[in-house]
Structure 1
Amino acid sequence: MHVASLAWCGGGPVSMSAVEPGTRLADRFRLEDRVSESGGATLWKAIDEILARPVAVHTFSPEFPRESEVVLAARAASRLTDPRLTQVFDAADEDGTAYVVSEWVHGESLLDLLAAGPMEPERGAVLVAEAAEALAHAHEAGMCHLNLTPGRLMWTEGGTVKLLGVGVDAAILGREADSPEEAEHADAEGLGRLLYAALTGHWPGEDDCGLPPAPLDDGKICTPRQVTAGVPGYLDTIAARILGVKRGPTPLAPPAEVAEALSQVPRPVPAPASTVPPSVELRAEAVDTLHARPVPPPPAPPRRPPGMFSRFLVTLVALLVMAVVGVGAWSLGKSLGTESETPASDAPTTPGAEPAKTVALTPAGAIGFDPLGDGEERNELAPRAIDGSYGTDWHTESYNDAKFGGLKKGVGLLIDLGRDAKLTKVMVDFGDVPGGSAELKLGGEPTPEALTVAASTKEAMGKVTFDLAGSEPSRYLMVWFTELPPYQNRFRGMILDLEITATED
């Protein structure tokens, strides 16, 4: 990740007092639209002219008192690796200039999703559960948020969760905790307020975040079940415990405890549907304008998350389609091969013929695979492992035991290569947590019995390259976890991305 040391425009340092639409920072970020401006901090939508993508840029007036703190916080946040946290691309503070460039998120915030009323309880809880897991990762790295409001939790157009502003929000607003324990308690309570808001459509905090305040009962905040009918008892208990609404067990304190408490919430497939047409671009809200309530989108009809049997049928159909396509491709390849058995007169037939070329292979698709239960393993995340981005990942469910409690031999990611190919190498990025083991399986059919182990590693950590030279042509590739690395007091495997090479016929 690149972090620039100086912002330049037209060959000289930029004066923040002269920043306006069209200004270019670091000779690549062109400011386009001013999103918000308050307290000397301005949020812009900008274009990264080198990568041709939108980015969010914070600039600061000469009177802003915390430029150095913001840039330092941004640089620390840039080292966070959880894809559910906003990426920081660039930060600078030299010669009287300062700016922070971060990911521009397209989608709907929790505030947008609640404009038509409370969400389906478990869907709302899933958003908060993902945010809690991501925030626990940030706290492990010494970072906190301290500004958790419904406008900072996003559901993206790509179907993922994004938590905006870790580290940077607190620095811009001048918020800090006296100790790591105080920061953990503040962020855990913030997660509790987000969960309460998702379940009820009301906000249990003192600040104005664009939602109606939580109703009171004898001077105390009502529990979610008192506000909204149909809230499951266990979610009501979790929210009440985090916020200390009821007398009982010690409140959940670190975000990791909140994540653990919400880890058993069923993950719907698909996740919350957008109520905004795909052509509409929604921008991330500014830190200082979160009180502005958005125009309510039309309510979406409630949809039940598909049951286990339905998901199994979907996975089975997908596998059958992949198999049919594979047979068709094989038949076509065989017929073409028959027609071309007679070599052309000028084809090289001597020992000096050119060797086969090696090419990069782009997978046609991927699904998560679990040999038990519903047959899938976080199937909705599978495309992230083949999207060419190391900022997204596919990961397994979280388990209580590194070897799945002895219930099964493993779980994996099944990849359709699109055609039969003679693979030479496969590089898999397993992330930076040690403790995992994995196998690489190849085959011509998308079934466990048709796949054979071609390579393995007892150190499934970082970028591992599997040498597959000499292997038979295969249509399907599976990365199969036989042992999981630790993850937040449990165990979970992860694949950030793959690079596949094959010989070209």
Structure 2
Amino acid sequence: MHPGTTLGRYAIARRAQEPVTGDPSSARRWVARDSDLERDVVLLVLPLDDPHTDAALDAARRASGVGHPGLTRILDVDHDAERAWVTESFRGDDRSLAELATHGLPAEEVRRITGEVALVLEAARSRGLHHLAISPDSVFVGPDGSVRVRGLAVDAALAGVDEEGDEAAALDGAGVVALAYAGLTGSWPLETSTSLPPAPRDATGVLPPSHLAVGVPSDLDTICRETLADDAGPSSPGDYAASVSPWSRTPVDDGAAQPLDEATGDDGAEAPFADAPGPDDTQVIGVTPAAGAAAQEHRSTAVDSDDDEPTQAISRGATAPSDEPTQVVSAEGSDEPGAARTGRGAAAGAAAVSVAGALASGGKVLGERVGRAAQRTRERAGEAAADRRAQREAIRSSESRDRVSLGSAGSQDDLEPPAPLLPADASEPPSREQSRVVVAIMALFVVVALVVGAVGVSKIGDNTDLSAIFGSDAQGADPVRPTQSSSTSRPSGGGDGARTSEPIPVIGAIGYDPNGDGAEHNSEAQRVYDGDPSTSWTTEGYESPNFGNKGGVGIVLDLGQARQVRSATLQLPQATTVQVFVGDEAGIAGTELGRSEGKNGPVTITGRSAARGQYVTIWFTTTVQSDDGRHRASLAEVVLR
């Protein structure tokens, strides 16, 4: 594979991701151009001879049914003679979490990103799917702060990871914690390969984030420590989201967590002794304790004079014990050999004192900076914890005010409604004239109601054919005998037979795939009862005639209420095996009305007796191979009676 290669309607442009599983011969993602729709997409290209390719393609089909804005959309799944590929949506301005973590992220932004990822994975878990291979390279953040997850179920299938149930949920929960660790430290704590460097370890395991960076919130540090070192992490992505909530709904940019060496200023710690005078520069005679103390805080500066006067060395920030300044003379200015030897010894002692003072000063500065950084970290963590405690207290206080115990419910004083705004004379009793008017109006209303009621009662049964309902005890004197033609125009059985010949209306339909993603071309389902045989509902294309090792797929018709179904007339474009079930729930657990095998065109399936139910499931168990090599089943029209 290289740029310029064409796969179907896609032209490869550039590589988007290194091998997904770390194996150079395995699947890769490429940015490609869709020639039909004129848009950029991402192609996950897989070799057909890879033992995990079939599982990955099946996982991609199942993941395409999870419609969540936080997931990268899967647009197509296809293959040719040598390769298979999965087409994913592409947004060129997104940045991966690995790239963001390399440049540094604020701790609260890490909380927001991982919280959103946890909600996405929890939504997928509710649909029966898990990621199982989450990494910083599969999480993307847009310019607006939106978070998207790529590779749901597919990356795990390529890596051969196959977990289900609680184990899969716990594995995804630990993966989200690892993302938080990566965002805080810029390193990856798990054994899987990513573009980030591996996290440092000691004898107990992965180092906590607080050992590698400052400004790490205590709750994130604790959950990383418990998950990665003590194996006591969240049981699911939703559990992680509940542990770190609440978080900001907008991107947070308040400064990234700094590594300890930058925050404590190790580079600057060398400054106090970087310019310390060497033993050959000057020689100090009579270094006093005050000068030695000053050397521990500041470096001395020597000022050379142009004449033979002794140079005076003044230590900044130090005061000599006497009024005379400390004298510094050059070794060449000494006339006596003893004085030279004394000068050289004093110079060596002075150099030792300078170095010791510089080291002490560097250690003091480094300690002060580390202490200040730690103090700021403690203050920020304390403020954050106090804010969260205040929020929880406010919520509990609000709930306690709204909650009333059962014992005190009866003793609560009922609030009186506010008095209506009435005229000032409203409180006066009505006059006799007003009372007569009110009584007359009320009497009129009563009379009108009685008249309307009497008329209505008199008309009850006028339009009802009671003889048709209860039957007639005797025939007329000259009954009309039906002719031969009229007796054969309606089916035997009288009125009931006439009613059963009427089609039963269908109010809705949906694809049925209980062994897959639950859906089967739902957008085409309404075509089976639109009255147009030229339109049809078709299953998805499968590699094998048994629907990819599934028992079958079908379509469910909703009748709106329970109805008696005696027959179903199917318009089958292809000769397949189909069964019809009727029940109060969608599926094949209801009463089987009948089946058809190897027939196409109009096929009527009639049951031995009527089956009652609200839902009719038409279940296909065989397929027919199409021109593109895929196997499908289709249904053009259904009429129920």
**Structure whose residues are more often helix by fraction:** 2
Q: TM-score, normalised by structure 1?
A: 0.46
Q: Greater RCO between the two (CA within 8 Å, min separation 6)?
A: 1
- Higher Rg of the two aligned structures: 2
Q: TM-score, normalised by structure 2?
A: 0.37
**Structure whose residues are more often strand by fraction:** 1
